[in-house]
Structure 1
Amino acid sequence: MTTAKPSGAGLPAGFAPPVKVALARVVTTLPRTTATQTGNLSYEPKWDGYRCICIRDDNGATLWSRQGKDLTRYFPELVAATEGAVPPGCVIDGEAVIWTQGRLDFSALQQRLSAGPKTLPGLVRETPANYTAFDLLAVAGHDARELPLNQRRALLEELASGWEPPLSLSPTTTDPDLAARWFEELPRTGIEGLIIKRSDQPYAGGVRNWMKLKHRETVEVVCGAVIGPITQPSEIVAGLILEGELRIVGRSTPLKTAAGRELARWLQPPRSAHPWPKTVKGTTLDRFNRDKEPVTLTLVEPVVVEVSADTAWSGRSFRHPLRLVRARPELSPADISLPDMLGPAVH
């Protein structure tokens, strides 16, 4: 791994990249502060972008992913803004995001990481990135990780008081009713849900002390294939009509035996030529390539199914597995369009 600039001068010990980030565990309901709990709960949007540690030292600014990848060269506008607005000796935790037509655009972020030196400047001009900060690990050359969240947040707000785009401060609230409204209203902009933290917690890198509540919706998709036998499928392969064609957009979580048997009632072999091949790359079904080897599909006559999906949509596919709710054989596959919650498709 190569570093864009030497890093570490003017920083406290322990901040040579990569820096371990705080993590979150999944919860299924909105937690609220209880009488026996120490510290209030703080609620923030869960951004659909690249988790990004920003290190500002005496030599300039560098950006690092959660996995320790140097992202500095991919976001020159964020580096320039940080060097102009953040003094040396600071380490910030946040998210690099791109907005397109009022919605977070994860696909545009992915294009940054595959761009070469000739194409990157055009992407920076056409789809500029933003950095949304939500925590502070070091300030003025002092390690802030042992401070409770409410004190770190106060320091971050002071640091960000003069910021202008592309730098911004992630909103936060201790009001659970406002957080509940955020949870219902913000997913239409691509926000994935909420991150919940205790106000008295220190910053614990590598530890799942935070909580995350992801927003899910039920939507209709087309089951054009399954994995496993048609009489007892183990997963569905979901499709949507994009650019006039039925395209694979994701897969489901493994089906329980009873659910697979119930779905099988509505599955038939294709009655005519099928738009999908019998074998696909693992990345066709899952961008994280859960299957490194090619995956064999059992093609079926397309049938509509209802699934539970979160708002993580790349522009061409769901980024997380779907959960089968039920078959909808009374609906026509030709009438199933891209759900409004997912925003526009990438062309």
Structure 2
Amino acid sequence: MATTEHPAGTGLPAGLAPPVKVALARPVTKMPRARPGNFLYEAKWDGYRCIVVRDNDGATLWSRQGQDLSRYLPELIQVLEAAVPPGCVIDGEAVIWANGRLNFAALQQRLSAGPKTLPGLVRQTPANYVAFDVLAVAGHDARDLPLHQRRALLEELAAGWEPPLSLSPTTTDPDEAARWFEELPRTGVEGLIIKNTNEPYTPGVRSWLKLKHRETIDVVCGAVIGPITQPAEVVAGLILEGELRIVGRSTPLKTADSRDLAQWLKPPKGQHPWPATVKGTTLDRFNRDKEPVALTLVEPVVVEVSADTAWSGRSFRHPLRLLRARPELSPADVILPELHTG
């Protein structure tokens, strides 16, 4: 580990005072081919990426965008200050478990909670912290070390941890990773993060890989964004509590997909259940953009989409990928996606 000059009084290596720039991952669509031991595979947690900065004054938690999240996760701060010695910087994920499944919505509530409501949320749905990398130990910068050495340091650092602190499980066996990829989505885990065991920690660089689990499902296209003859995005709906409700949107459509979908789109025959203008949060309730979005309402038609596992029971948190129109199906026959509960 490199010995670097510490900023005055912090006990941290130079360049690791918060906010801390994090390593990133680029998406892939299939498992990379590798010999056992070349890659380290771990779960892609459905939570908040959080950097723990433990200096001489205490612990703080920082998002990958550089926001101080400490006040929203007070139960973790107290535990981290007791379990992590000064001079350490750790990369990981804040998560909330409910009924054996990761609950991102409960975590999202923390960021909008005021001083009066936050304590109740902390009691009802306490957060956990899952660590998967270490950037500094005992005031020494560990980012230039290869991953297998950083992991060994992290395991030593976490030897005495107990919940709500834990280590992210890992494997170097591609076959075991493939089993994880198929089995873990029922717990809300979104897929796998795949890392080269010999690489250093590279802030701001997409040196890791992320393989997300996706499922093919049917939804109802009740509107599009853009002209009916050249739709730019699908506005997806499902029947919830007897009503067709907006549950998400698609990624921008390719020209060929837009043309293929347009041939099946028709203006509504009667009263449409959706308004012509909605807030951005109606299409994506985890989007902070509340600007109005104009919808082109259409007669509901079934479409087949590729979706990841982030279905909350009321909406999709991530955009859907349009695969094809299914005009032979009736919207009334579309069933809700399976909500994996463990």
TM-score normalised according to structure 2 size: 0.92
Q: 2:4 maps to what in 1?
A: none
- Alpha-carbon shift at residue 290 of structure 1 (Å): 9.5
Match of 2:68 in 1: 70
* Partner secondary structure for residue 194 of structure 2: strand
Q: Which runs of 4+ in 1 moved over 3 A?
A: 286-293, 313-316, 341-344
CA contact (8 A) 1:24 1:208 kept: yes
The 5 A counterparts of 1:140-219 are 140-219=138-217
**Structure 1 CA distance for aligned equivalents of residues 289 and 13 of structure 2:** 42
Task: Report which stretch shifted further, 256-265 or 138-147.
Answer: 256-265
Q: Distance in 1 between matches of 2:286 and 2:337?
A: 23
In the alignment, is the contact (CA less than 8 A) between 1:313 and 1:342 conserved in 2? Answer: no
* Aligned counterparts of 2:339 and 2:286: Cα–Cα separation in 1: 22
The offset of 1:83, in angstroms, is 1.4
| Amino acid corresponding to residue 181 of structure 1 in structure 2 | R
Partner of residue 3, structure 1: none
Q: Which amino acid aligns with 1:233?
A: P
**Matched AA of 2:237:** G
Matched, 1:227 2:225: yes
Alignment partner, residue 26 of structure 2? 25
1:317 Cα offset (Å): 2.4
Aligned length: 336
Give matches, 1:1-347, under 5 Å: 9-33=10-34, 40-287=38-285, 293-314=291-312, 316-341=314-339
| C-alpha distance in structure 1 between counterparts of 2:35 and 2:304, whole Å | 36
Describe the shift of the 1:320–1:100 C-alpha distance in structure 2 as closer, same or farther (beyond 3 A). Answer: same
In 2, the alpha carbon distance for the partners of 1:289 and 1:75 equals 21
Residue 287 of structure 1 deviates from its aligned partner by 4.7
In structure 2, relative to structure 1, the CA distance for the partners of 1:153 and 1:17 (3 Å cut) is same
Instruction: Work out whether residues 107 and 315 of structure 1, in 8 Å CA contact, stay in contact via their aligned partners in 2.
Output: no
Alpha-carbon distance in 2 for matches of 1:8, 1:187: 44
The separation in 1 between residues aligned to 2:324 and 2:229, in whole angstroms, is 16
Shift of 1:17: 0.4
Scaled by the length of structure 1, the TM-score of the pair is 0.90
Deviation of the 1:321 alpha carbon: 1.7
The 3 A distance-change label for structure 1 pair 218 and 285 is same
Task: Give 1:4's aligned residue.
Answer: none
Counterpart Cα distance in 2 of 1:295 and 1:249:
15
Identity of aligned residues (%): 80
Distance 1:287 1:61 in 2: 31
Shift of 1:283: 2.9
Cα separation, 2, equivalents of 1:305 and 1:264 = 12
Cα distance in 2 for residues equivalent to 1:218 and 1:341: 14
Question: Contact conserved, 1:56 with 1:89, CA < 8 A, in 2?
Answer: yes
Distance 1:288 1:30, change over 3 A: same
Query: Counterpart of 1:204 in 2: which secondary structure?
Result: coil
Q: Structure 1, residues 138-172: CA drift from partner, whole Å, max 9, x if none?
A: 11221111111101101111111111111010011
Please say if residues 28 and 210 of structure 2, whose CA atoms lie closer than 8 Å, have aligned partners that are also in contact: yes
Q: Which moved more, 1:307-316 or 1:134-143?
A: 307-316
Q: CA deviation digits over 1:284-339, x for unaligned, max 9?
A: 22357597752221111212111001123355322222111122223332232320
How many angstroms apart in 1 are the aligned matches of 2:104 and 2:291? Answer: 26
Q: 1:343 Cα shift? A: 6.0
Runs of at least 5 residues in structure 2 that lack an aligned partner in the other structure: 1-7
TM-superposition CA deviations, 1:264-292 (whole Å, max 9, x none)? 33322222211100111233223575977
Contact 2:52 2:60 in 1 (8 A): yes
CA distance in 2, matches of 1:8, 1:238: 53
**Which residue identity lines up with residue 186 of structure 1 in the other structure?**
L
Contact 2:181/2:191 (CA < 8 Å) preserved in 1? yes
- Asked if structure 2 preserves the Cα contact closer than 8 Å seen for 1:32 and 1:41, the reply is no
